[in-house]
Structures are given as structure tokens and as C-alpha cells.
Structure 1
Amino acid sequence: MQSPVPYFVHSLTALSKIIDKAEAFAEAKRLKPEVIPQLRLIADMFPFARQVMIATDHAKGASARLSGTENPSFPDTETTLAELKERIAKTIAFIQTIPDAAFEGAEAKIIAIKAGPRELSFPGAQYLHGYAVPNFYFHMGTAYNILRSNGVEVGKVDFLGG
């Protein structure tokens, strides 16, 4: 299996740059540091901070599980944009330690995970392409949309990391 790391790194780098724009927006609007991380699209969805946490969890979790590497635990305590950027940087630093060779044969591994109350099991390729990557981009996209809907000037090129 080809390593997913370069793709996660590319998108996480874009997410970090989007947060740079959110920081500039918050400063210009004189918002308290905790405001943007708590913004939501709608009341029953996770706030911006949690969207970033989940996106990073999918990137590091998929990379670790598919490579047979221990998945580091991050405590989910970030409350500011700066802390969220640090989490992204920690995720990138971790996944970049995994050599491409560690993913050889990963498409045939059986990946078992717990998703809420459910236990799920997938062959490696199905896990990556049908679960981890779609979840990663769902939460990354939701984080982007929260910022965009609240006036942060970001566009498709920012999301794509162009």
C-alpha cells in the first residue's frame, strides 16, 4: 500500500494555514482567544476545536494502524487556535516518522477500531479509503466551513492547500 502520510501532511499543513487566517480574523475583530475554537455550524455538531482534533486523530490513527506503529494519545485539551496549530504540528511530526516501507502489505491487514459503541473491522485498503480518509476530510471540511460561515476569508484554494 502506498503511504497516506504525504496526503495527510499536505492537508494538515493547509488546515494550519487556514487557522493562521482565523487568528488574523480574530485579532482584527478583537475576539477573545476561546471564541473561534468554540464556533459551530449548528448546535448539535462539534465545535471547531473538536473538528480539528478529530481530523488529526484520523490522520495519526490511520497512519499508525496501517503501519503497525503505536498510535500516540493526544489528550484533547486544546482550547485556543495556537494550541490547535501545535496539535497539527505534533500530528505531522509523528506521521512523518513512519517510513513508506512500513505500509507494505497494509491493504491486507485487518484493522479493528471502536467507533462510539460499535466495533468495526476492515481490510486495510477499505479502512483507509472507506473510513479514515472520508472521516478525515469530513472533519477538515467542517472545520473550514465553520470558519467560512463566520466570516473568515478562506476559499477553496486554502482548503486544497494550493
Structure 2
Amino acid sequence: MSLSMYQASVPVLVRALKALSGVLQKGADFARERNIAPEVLLNTRVIADMFPLARQVQIATDMAKGAAYRLAGQDVPSMADDETTFEQLQERIAKVIGMIEGIEPGRIDGSEAREIVLKMRSGERRFAGQEYLFGYVLPNVYFHATTAYAILRGEGVPLGKADFIG
């Protein structure tokens, strides 16, 4: 039995986002239990030249949303990237999950060779759909989810591998 592009994308992305939601919830609970201002954690970085926690979540959700819509051959809806609380980030994750789960599998299946063009600061980058998903999107989603996990874990939030895997 072969694996379809839908099966390799939407359910995998949803699982990663749900796990990220769980990690964030533990971060919010930790902040509340320890009387830490949530914005302290949301603005924490692994190192000075990396994005803070809130931006890591925004990028992970943008990557997931962009993947599903581009693979479906649809325009990617934009989001404001203005979340400043754990609750707002949770709402963003839930919204993106709903958006990508709402895409019919048939719109994504067969997109292995669909041309995906990304406009980047360095210029246009072109991919075939399968290369885009496996070589660009999934590594990026996991990178930003891992970085969010690492930020919270580094601040003492009691997280383990099972939290990341979901």
C-alpha cells in the first residue's frame, strides 16, 4: 500500500501541532504555578540571535498551514503574527489545525510533482510538491517545534520526549 501526499502531510502536521499545543500548555501551567509572568517565557530565546518562543510557534503554524494550502493548489491565508499570550497561541494552533483539516484529501493527493514557488528574501525557491513537503516543510515544522520545546525545557518546564512526540 502506498502513502498518499495527504496522509504524509495533514495528519503528520496536525499531530506535530497538537503536541506543540501540549508543550505550550505545560509552559502556561508552569508559569502560573511559579508566578512567572507568561511574557517572560513567551519572549525567551535559546540564544540571542534566535526567535523567541512565541515566534517559534507562529513559524511552525505558518509552515503547516502553508504546506497544506500550497500542496492543495490554493492560496495560503495570511495570519497577523500578533499573539502575545499562551491563550492566543493556543487559539492560533487550533485555528490552523481546523484550516488544514478542512482541506479535502483529494486536493492534496497527487501533488508530488506540483510546482511550489516560495518567494524568499534571497529570491524565488522552486520545489516539486514531494520535495517541498519532505525536504522543506517537515524539517522546518519539527525544527521550530523542537526549539519551542527546548526553550520551555531550558526554563525548567517539566517536559519529556513523550510531550514532544504527542
The TM tier, using the shorter chain, reads over 0.9
**Equivalence for 2:125:** 120
**TM-score relative to the length of structure 2:** 0.94
What SS does the corresponding residue of 1:147 show, helix, strand or coil? helix
Q: What's 2:59 paired with?
A: 54
Match of residue 141 from structure 2: 136
Percent of aligned pairs with the same amino acid = 50
Mapped contact 1:14–1:160 kept (Cα < 8 A): yes
| Matched residue SS, 1:76 | coil
Q: What TM-score results when the alignment is normalised by the length of structure 1?
A: 0.96
Among 17, 38, 42, the alignment partner of 1:33 is 38
The match for 1:64 is 69
Runs of 4+ in 1 over 4 A off after TM superposition: none
Specify the SS of the correspondent of 2:127. strand
Question: C-alpha distance in 2, partners of 1:116/1:144?
Answer: 27
* Partners of 1:19 and 1:43 in 2: CA distance: 21
Runs (5+) with no aligned partner, structure 1:
none
Structure 2, unaligned runs of 5 or more: none
1:155 aligns with 2:160: yes
Deviations 1:38-95 (A, max 9, x none): 0100000000000000000000000000011231111000011111111100100100
Instruction: Provide the C-alpha distance between the structure 2 equivalents of 1:27 and 1:101, rounded to a whole number of angstroms.
Output: 43
- Shifted more, 41-50 versus 98-107: the winner is 98-107
Shift of residue 114, structure 1, vs aligned partner: 1.7
What residue identity is the alignment partner of 1:49?
A
Partner residue, 1:73: 78
